[in-house]
Structure 1
Amino acid sequence: MSETVEKRYRVDGMDCAGCATKIDTAVRRMPGVEDVLVSVTAGTMTVRHDGSSDLVAIERRVAGLGYSVMQVTSRTPAAPSRQVHDHHHDHEGHDHANHDHDLDEASHGAAAAPPASDTVEGLHGHDNTTTNGPWWQSKKGRLTILSGVALVTAYAIGHLVPAIAPYAFVAAMLVGLVPIARRAVMAAFAGTPFSIEMLMTIAAVGAVIIHAGEEAATVVFLFLVGELLEGVAAGKARQSIQSLTKLVPKSALVEEDGKTREVPAENLAVGATILVRPGDRISADGTILSGESAIDEAPVTGESTPVRKGEGDVVFAGTVNGDAALRVKVTAAAADNTIARVVRLVEEAQESKAPTERFIDRFSRYYTPGVVVVAALVAILPPLLAGGAWNEWIYKGLAILLIGCPCALVISTPAAIAASLSSGARRGLLLKGGAVLETLGKINAVALDKTGTLTEGKPKVTDVIGFESTQADILKYAAALETGSSHPLALAILARAATDNVVVPAATDAKALGGKGVSGTVEGLPIFLGSPKAAHERIPLSAEQTARITGLNDEGKTVSVLLVGETLAGAIAMRDEPRDDAKAGLKALTDSGVKIVMLTGDNSRTANAIGQQLGIEVRAELMPEDKQRIVGELQSQGLTVAKVGDGINDAPALAAADVGIAMGGGTDVALETADAAILHGRVGDVAAMIALSKRTMRNIAENITIALGLKAVFLVTTIAGITGLWPAILADTGATVLVTINALRLLRPAR
């Protein structure tokens, strides 16, 4: 069995789903082709074949239909590591008590996705090529202008020499009709006989036969204007997501051997160190090695205010450095940075059809031939059965051919979905296809992980309690012992000391005591920091002190006790705290009628404390298979379930849910298993995703109403003799433009 080969192409000139259908039908009939995916909104075609296909012949077939074809290949980086970064730091003897507190539920990695950078391998052009310049520089624009000039000239000649007016209008018509007819014939030979070009050709030729050459020339011109407008509107949607790639700067300053030199950003290697000056855009995904600055992440994540970041924090390509120079270690090649992955994901998603889109595609296969039959019956039956005038009823039949074009109907769904996917991507909401987008609007139950999803995924100091010392002294001594440690609890203490501007002295003789804590000498005093149990072994704790510590434990907090000599100086309580927007995000879900539940592997005491704080039902101490089982139980109750998580233990439940949503900082496994991802990690974005889906489905309903409504109105008025060929073509192209413009409203943020 031969191996399947995949080739990807850029295709210019596709304006509507009818274009995609013609290309799909033509290429699918070529020898060796196994599957074809065509996206109008992304302007791409992916061909899967068995290796025996003649790619040049495929390109010629598509070019013959009137489209330009560019075969592209992705610059594939080395395969990224799939290991999950383990957060179980071996902090020998660093037992701060309550180790059932699960701080390791979320393992953080970088999601791997196919690269978006493409290189051109070949180019075959034809009538529908587009340019990056103004519309009038494109071949479509030039053809439309030429047709318009020919029509105006025909009117002038007809006014000056009425005897040759019919011939002048026929000549003007042919200027625009010849390219249209050529595409119609090529489409017919390629398997699409009922294309809009064929309907247009029949209508124009028929109009000439019944001596309506003036209208025929005008209709051809209006058809070209409509196609041009469709192309401009479709290009707006296409440019929306592609404009993201322009956010990444072209060059970067690389540090080598103590010197900096400017290199192309696309050549940056993983592991390289780059210097980012204040005000510059960051040229690669990376981790800050030194420096602290406010980072404007709005272009990538939609975050409205700059985020303060320092050593060890992650930064994204395309974001803007604020007020200080940063040294950044590159963690992803240009072809695999955040923006490239977003663009690639959205383009692939646009090739994946939603159920509604698939239904309309199937419907249109029967609709267009049906229109041709109806038009023929309208043209033939009244003269044959009722003695009607042949010219009059043939004219009406030709008008119905134009009215019946399915372009507006077929583009109604993919245009809305493409705009919605692009809009979501610009806000950090990534969805893997129209089917996911459509299903999200039906969600009425959401199961959320705790650590790293509802919470930050790392502990913070919540309480500093002074029994015999001040809070500043407690932090000073504790931070001195923890300096240099990478344990999450140690990092929490050091972060709090830095926030409170505590001057941390040096510690001597610092050592870890297996299973108990750490000890050392600070400012000449013997210091011990460890669990309450270990501290009690050294000096007795009073009933009041024990009760205070127990109360903190009941709140799900980890407590470390500080001894200075033989004195219980104080205690430090830490907990993985909820995200800042968690409560508001959950309220947005419940306000929209969605049932919410927390599913966590953490201990019940900690989980219930967080659950009570957030007002959410809690299911704790779960294994991965338990989370999957609970998702199944919710589905068995008739609920459509979304699962939100970021850890490897969430993968089974993410796969089992109707829609799996990975938080942006999650593991590779979670992001690959999920149907959608929240790049910025905001809980409120779950509700935003659902709202975006509902808004999109309303837009699709509006588009279908516009498309069918206009056709119904003009069908009645045409048969009644009120409207003719001119309004008919306006009804077709006008509806397509209106539908596309309505879909583009989704690119604007919701109010």
Structure 2
Amino acid sequence: MTTASTMKLQIEGMDCASCALKIETAMQRLPGVSDVSVSYASGTLALSVDEDRTQLHTIEDKIRALGYQPLGIAPAAKPALPAKRAKEIWWKSMKARLVAMTGALFAVALIAGWLMPEWDTWLFASAALISIVPFARRAISGALQGSPFTIETLMSVAALGAVAIGEAEEAAVVIFLFAVGELLETVAAGRARAGIEALIDLVPRTALRLTVAGETVSVPVEELAIDDRVVVRPGDRVPSDGVVEEGASEVNEAPVTGESVPVLKEAGAKVFAGSINANGELRVRITHAAADNTIARIIHMVEEAQESKAPTARLIDRVSRWYTPAAMVFAALIMIVPPLAFGGDWMTWVYRGLATLLIACPCALVISTPAAIASGLAAGARQGLLIKGGAALETLGKVTTVAFDKTGTLTRGHPRVTDIVALAGSEDEVLAKAAAVERNVSHPLGLAIVEAATQRALAVPATFGGGLAVPGKAVTARLKSGFASVGSPRHAAEHTDVETDIRDRIHALESEGKTVVVVMAGKTIEGLIALRDEPRDDAAAGVRRLKDQGVSVVMLSGDNQRTASAIAGTLGLEARGELLPDAKLAEIARLKEAGPIAMVGDGINDAPALAAASVGIAMGGGTDVALETADAALLRDRVEGVADLILLSRATLGNIWQNITLALGLKAVFLATTLFGVTTLWMAILADTGATVLVTANALRLLAYRPSR
């Protein structure tokens, strides 16, 4: 029993979705080949193949027969670093050689015809027939491999028909202009791939690794292992994801997150591969190998996203399968109906039918959606907005509701001390005593109290012996002054009488969504400390921007309704609290009935909700979970990124419809002028080429897109 192996080939010459479709159709007809995926955006062919039934050279021969050039094969496993494609110099490409050949033949025929007018027709006919050979071979090969109605078929039929009716000069011009158009498409496709190439260039190829003896050795980044220590000098790029162990410096993370303001990095801070160290030397412990660093994951994710098709692209692919044969039938009717039914001139209407064939070429229509999607995905990646495919990118622009998780999404994810009420002594004394009691515990509230005392540089009293923790009630420790405890209001009420004004103060703080702990010395209440998981700095602005876009915003939380409402009230959105996981899923299903819904979570405990929503968005700052759990991830870890995603999606959808309108509108105009005898053959091919170039150029505008604030 044999098993299929997975391989990926790089292919030169693919410049539109119809190219990818031809290769995909041909591969699917080979025995033992399955799981075929072709991406013209990245210039790759991925497939599973039983090499006992189909050899690699057979696959490469089929690709060459279709007019494309296989450049080599890479293993399907993710390499240590994404392989950089060989730089394709457009004037050295196969399509550039075709332009030169067809142009030279036309020029020779033109000059020779001027010198020998009596041979004019034969000279242009010869030039046209020789020039058409490469395209006709591709048309025949495509037909034999399952794609009979290709752009090459339309062009070959039109050119040969022009020669047959005595319009050899126009046939030669049409072939030359078609070759030029294909070359322009290749150049444009290369521009679209430049975004991925730029990401690959962000990662340095070498790193300064520290040896046990404390010396630095330059090694390839592929050799870096987890827990290796590296030196990052001022001006150097961080070689892989890691944690700062020594040093302090500002780091420019714009290549990864799109954030232009440098971020101060000190001991304990995370750093991303590709970010640029500004002004101080850092010693970094590597936490991810080169194959799994942030840049590598972004590149692989964007490539996979470009290979997946958006719903509009799939629709256009289905339409294009019958569009071309229908166009050929329509052109044939134009040729024969007027002469037979109305006594029209045969040569005139055959000529107009041939022009219709050229105008009907579907390239511009087929490329309209994938070109925009590829540009939108690349533009998002440059701004730290990672989107896993065209389907997610399209859906984002249609969402009517955005549901946020609270903890770690709208809020920072850890509590902070917000209020200190001193009932005996000063605020600092109350906080210092509470920090002494909580110093040796790991509860989030205790850690927040210790952090607040540290920030105030307070002298924390010493404890004698270990603290005693009663889960859900209190932590007690022995200080020099006697026993002290930090506990819940209920615990305090169990051990002493709580005066009415203290109870009122506790209730007021809790009504603001804060958690209150009571600091006691023996049975005497000395103070209250309120803590809350505070909203992110940009949470209110992010919610406001979504509302300005006409999107409903709601917070879904497992916290009690009072706490959830308090946080939501400060941010200006509706809150639904006390939702267990099942209830949260049911709420998402209910909201989904009104229209597509986006769920925003931290990518860890929100996985079911992210999956249940129309599109899931993970806040994760580049973590593995954030990149793998949801349909989109926000590397900047900012709430405003949700609004940026929706704006980018709407801009992409608008670009798609602009492209479709351009493609079909130009064809409609030139079809009308053709039927009235205004359009010549060379004008028809220019119309098709022009539409393709316009559509591609319009899609490339998205690469410079920046969401408006």
TM-score exceeds 0.5: yes
Task: Note if 1:39 corresponds to 2:24.
Answer: no
Contact preservation (8 Å) 2:568, 2:574: yes
Partner of 1:137: 92
Equivalent of 2:544 in 572, 587, 598: 587
1:469-488 residue pairs with structure 2 within 5 A?
469-471=425-427, 487-488=443-444
Quote the Cα distance in structure 2 between the aligned partners of 1:504 and 1:239: 57
Greater CA deviation, 482-491 or 157-166?
A: 482-491
Quote the Cα distance in structure 1 between the aligned partners of 2:584 and 2:23: 44
Partner of 2:691: 735
Quote the Cα distance in structure 1 between the aligned partners of 2:629 and 2:111: 66
Task: Give the C-alpha shift of residue 730 in structure 1.
Answer: 0.7
Could you say if the C-alpha distance between residues 727 and 594 of structure 1 is closer, same or farther in structure 2, counting changes exceeding 3 Å? same
Partner of 1:208: 163
Could you say if the C-alpha distance between residues 503 and 387 of structure 1 is closer, same or farther in structure 2, counting changes exceeding 3 Å? same
Q: Deviations over 1:272-300 (max 9, x none)?
A: 22222233221111223333333322221
Contact preservation (8 Å) 1:474, 1:562: yes
Partner of 1:432: 388
Task: Give the C-alpha shift of residue 404 in structure 1.
Answer: 0.7
Partner of 2:466: 511
Equivalent of 1:718 in 667, 674, 678: 674
Greater CA deviation, 652-661 or 709-718?
A: 652-661
Quote the Cα distance in structure 1 between the aligned partners of 2:202 and 2:626: 27
1:503-582 residue pairs with structure 2 within 5 A?
507=462, 509=464, 511-515=466-470, 516-517=474-475, 519=477, 528=484, 530-531=486-487, 544-561=501-518, 570-582=527-539
**TM-score normalised by structure 1 residue count:** 0.86
For 1:233, the aligned partner's letter is A
Quote the Cα distance in structure 2 between the aligned partners of 1:298 and 1:625: 39
Quote the Cα distance in structure 2 between the aligned partners of 1:290 and 1:543: 52
Task: Give the C-alpha shift of residue 245 in structure 1.
Answer: 1.6
Task: Give the C-alpha shift of residue 586 in structure 1.
Answer: 1.2
Contact preservation (8 Å) 1:287, 1:329: yes
1:285-296 residue pairs with structure 2 within 5 A?
285-296=241-252
Partner of 1:640: 596
Q: Deviations over 1:644-682 (max 9, x none)?
A: 212544222222222122222598667544222222222
Task: Give the C-alpha shift of residue 714 in structure 1.
Answer: 0.9
Q: Deviations over 1:557-613 (max 9, x none)?
A: 234455689986654432211111111111122222222221112233322221222
Task: Give the C-alpha shift of residue 484 in structure 1.
Answer: 7.2
Q: Deviations over 1:435-489 (max 9, x none)?
A: 2222222211222111111111112222344445555555556556666765433
Partner of 1:610: 567
Partner of 1:157: 112
Structure 1 residues without counterparts, runs of 5 or longer: 77-114, 121-129
Partner of 2:401: 445
**TM-score normalised by structure 2 residue count:** 0.91
Quote the Cα distance in structure 1 between the aligned partners of 2:662 and 2:650: 19
Quote the Cα distance in structure 2 between the aligned partners of 1:632 and 1:144: 56
Contact preservation (8 Å) 2:603, 2:629: no
SS in 2 for 1:283: coil
For 2:514, the aligned partner's letter is K
Greater CA deviation, 3-12 or 564-573?
A: 564-573
Quote the Cα distance in structure 2 between the aligned partners of 1:322 and 1:487: 37
Quote the Cα distance in structure 2 between the aligned partners of 1:715 and 1:478: 82
Partner of 1:282: 238
Quote the Cα distance in structure 2 between the aligned partners of 1:152 and 1:472: 91
Quote the Cα distance in structure 2 between the aligned partners of 1:509 and 1:666: 43
Could you say if the C-alpha distance between residues 165 and 422 of structure 1 is closer, same or farther in structure 2, counting changes exceeding 3 Å? same
Partner of 2:15: 15
Quote the Cα distance in structure 2 between the aligned partners of 1:639 and 1:204: 50
SS in 2 for 1:511: coil
Relative contact order (C-alpha < 8 Å, sep 6+): which is higher? 1
Could you say if the C-alpha distance between residues 193 and 322 of structure 1 is closer, same or farther in structure 2, counting changes exceeding 3 Å? same
Could you say if the C-alpha distance between residues 280 and 482 of structure 1 is closer, same or farther in structure 2, counting changes exceeding 3 Å? farther
Quote the Cα distance in structure 1 between the aligned partners of 2:559 and 2:285: 33
For 1:159, the aligned partner's letter is W
Could you say if the C-alpha distance between residues 489 and 648 of structure 1 is closer, same or farther in structure 2, counting changes exceeding 3 Å? same
Could you say if the C-alpha distance between residues 229 and 473 of structure 1 is closer, same or farther in structure 2, counting changes exceeding 3 Å? farther
Could you say if the C-alpha distance between residues 535 and 528 of structure 1 is closer, same or farther in structure 2, counting changes exceeding 3 Å? farther
SS in 2 for 1:514: strand
Could you say if the C-alpha distance between residues 565 and 253 of structure 1 is closer, same or farther in structure 2, counting changes exceeding 3 Å? farther
Could you say if the C-alpha distance between residues 483 and 140 of structure 1 is closer, same or farther in structure 2, counting changes exceeding 3 Å? farther
Greater CA deviation, 390-399 or 548-557?
A: 548-557
Partner of 1:105: none
Contact preservation (8 Å) 1:116, 1:341: no
Quote the Cα distance in structure 1 between the aligned partners of 2:614 and 2:458: 52
Quote the Cα distance in structure 1 between the aligned partners of 2:432 and 2:509: 22
Could you say if the C-alpha distance between residues 44 and 666 of structure 1 is closer, same or farther in structure 2, counting changes exceeding 3 Å? closer
Could you say if the C-alpha distance between residues 491 and 160 of structure 1 is closer, same or farther in structure 2, counting changes exceeding 3 Å? farther
Could you say if the C-alpha distance between residues 479 and 168 of structure 1 is closer, same or farther in structure 2, counting changes exceeding 3 Å? farther
SS in 2 for 1:643: strand
Report % sequence identity.
Answer: 53
For 2:548, the aligned partner's letter is D
Partner of 2:353: 397
Quote the Cα distance in structure 2 between the aligned partners of 1:485 and 1:163: 102
Quote the Cα distance in structure 2 between the aligned partners of 1:465 and 1:15: 68
Q: Deviations over 1:408-445 (max 9, x none)?
A: 01111111111111111222222222122222222112
Superposition CA RMSD, Å: 3.0
Could you say if the C-alpha distance between residues 266 and 670 of structure 1 is closer, same or farther in structure 2, counting changes exceeding 3 Å? closer
Q: Deviations over 1:522-549 (max 9, x none)?
A: xx76684622556788987665455434
Contact preservation (8 Å) 2:258, 2:383: yes
SS in 2 for 1:192: coil
For 1:630, the aligned partner's letter is E
Quote the Cα distance in structure 2 between the aligned partners of 1:194 and 1:332: 49
Contact preservation (8 Å) 2:417, 2:531: yes
Quote the Cα distance in structure 1 between the aligned partners of 2:621 and 2:582: 22
SS in 1 for 2:368: helix
Could you say if the C-alpha distance between residues 611 and 410 of structure 1 is closer, same or farther in structure 2, counting changes exceeding 3 Å? same
Partner of 2:176: 221
Partner of 1:108: none
Partner of 1:109: none
Contact preservation (8 Å) 1:598, 1:616: yes
1:51-450 residue pairs with structure 2 within 5 A?
52-56=52-56, 57-69=58-70, 70-76=72-78, 117-118=81-82, 132=87, 134-173=89-128, 176-257=131-212, 258-450=214-406
For 2:69, the aligned partner's letter is S
Q: How many residues are paired up? A: 700
Quote the Cα distance in structure 2 between the aligned partners of 1:602 and 1:168: 84
